[in-house]
Copies of this chain bind each other. A is one copy, B any other.
Amino acid sequence: MKSAKNGEYTEEMRYIAKKEGVDIEKLRRAVAKGHVVILRNTKHNVEPVGVGSGLRVKVNANIGTSMDIVNVEAEVRKAKIAKKYGADTIMDLSTGGNLPEIRHRIMKEVPMVIGTVPIYEAAWQMLERKKAIVEMSEDDMFNAVESHLRDGVDFLTIHVGVTREAVEKMKKHPRVVGTVSRGGTFHAAWILHNDKENPFYENYDYLLELLAEYDATISLGDGLRPGGLPDATDFLQIHELYTIGRLVKRAREKGVQAMVEGPGHIPIDQIEANVKMAKIATDNAPFYVLGPLVTDIASGYDHITAAIGGAIAAKAGADFLCYVTPAEHLALPNEEEVKLGVIATRIAAHAVNLTRFEDEYKWDYEMSKARASLRWDEQLNLSIDKENAIKIRKERYPHSPQVCTMCGEFCAIKILRDYLNEGKE
């Protein structure tokens, strides 16, 4: 960001301008203003990912162990699956097993931009030391951040906006679901227990210095995001958003790249307003949404609920979609659910990207042409999940290889093509 402010083109900017087919000077200006962030820690040897206005909407996949299910091999496989099906980044949200070892393993095996929530590691260390999470010291918190930065983590979710003032307001403004952000909840409980300000807020300048050293991006976590439709767009959420807006400004002043996390659970008729409000409150910081889910009743199908919300959010200006898997609200996702989550969210992102980028639209155009000419192999090859498309067609193979088993000889394309050809002779 400092180079961008100085008018310089960095290697990362060149890479992204080329990859996305955008003008490098426009990109530099966007980075300088903080409207675009480039995710890559200087210590991490991966291809950078750009997030923000004028670039493609990106997809993140969360992976990681839980206290109940610790299987590092499975998490590595999940990261590989996420990459294979087109996630742009992953977040390692592990909370069980040896956290640093798991992170090192995933980063070694799957070279892609990675994000983490360092406070989970600080909390995990307390449990390892048989202590309560709220007994964590300020140093414990900062040490976690520093160790993630040293490891080369590209973007760090930190809940700086969960301030003492916000916690006071939580008491006065009750919610139906309450707080559902794990990191946000740790901070809220810590503030209540210790009767002190959030150390990341209190020492925000120091935090920014650490981040600047590695050119890492701070992802300002929305600790007070709604956990259900009844709490959507409430005072607590918006109060925190405006706090985050001020934090974005301070980060930019220090040359630190900042993006902003958003909800969560939003009724379909409030999504656009949420995105616009976030863009205003944060002066167009890259906006990273989780879902959002447009209904609470679809446990087992929240990848679909999130694809609906994500597509609408992206269309309204959200820059980065965090996937949701079918296991959300029920369990830690397995490998198949990670795949379904990535594909659903990618459909949402692509649906918007194709309206903005010629080459994204070309994919759909080629598919349309393959369908029109009944070139089945090409249709299957162009499908977002080729193996699955081939499997479905093979399972129910038609008598005539030109058509499919839905319409058979009633195939509209075939009839009219045959007919018009006949007419011409």
Residue ranges of A at the interface with B (Cβ–Cβ < 8 Å): 66-69, 95-96, 120, 123, 127, 133-134, 175-182, 184-186, 188-189, 192-193, 227-231, 267-269, 294-301, 303-305, 307-308, 311-312, 315, 326-334, 343-344, 347-348, 350-352, 354-355, 361, 363-365, 367-369, 371-372, 379-380, 382-385, 388-389, 392-393, 395-396, 398-399, 404-413, 415-417, 419-420, 423
Contact = CB atoms under 8 A, between A and B. Distances in A.
A267 B372 CA distance: 18
Given A185-B415, A315-B269, A396-B332, A367 B228 contact: yes
Nearest to A62: B406
A308 B416 contact: no
A144 to B, nearest CB: 14
B364 A229 contact: yes
B308 A351 contact: yes
B297 A123 contact: no
Contacts of A348: 308
B188 A416 contact: yes
Contacts of A379: 299, 329
A368 B229 contact: yes
Given A301-B384, A364-B297, A404-B329, A413 B96 contact: no
Contacts of A189: 415-416, 419
A246 B265 CA distance: 42
Contacts of A308: 307-308, 311, 347-348, 351
Nearest to A326: B392
23 contacts: A95-B410, A176-B365, A176-B368, A176-B372, A182-B407, A182-B415, A185-B416, A189-B415, A192-B420, A227-B412, A227-B413, A228-B365, A267-B351, A268-B352, A268-B355, A295-B347, A295-B364, A297-B363, A297-B384, A298-B343, A301-B343, A331-B398, A332-B406
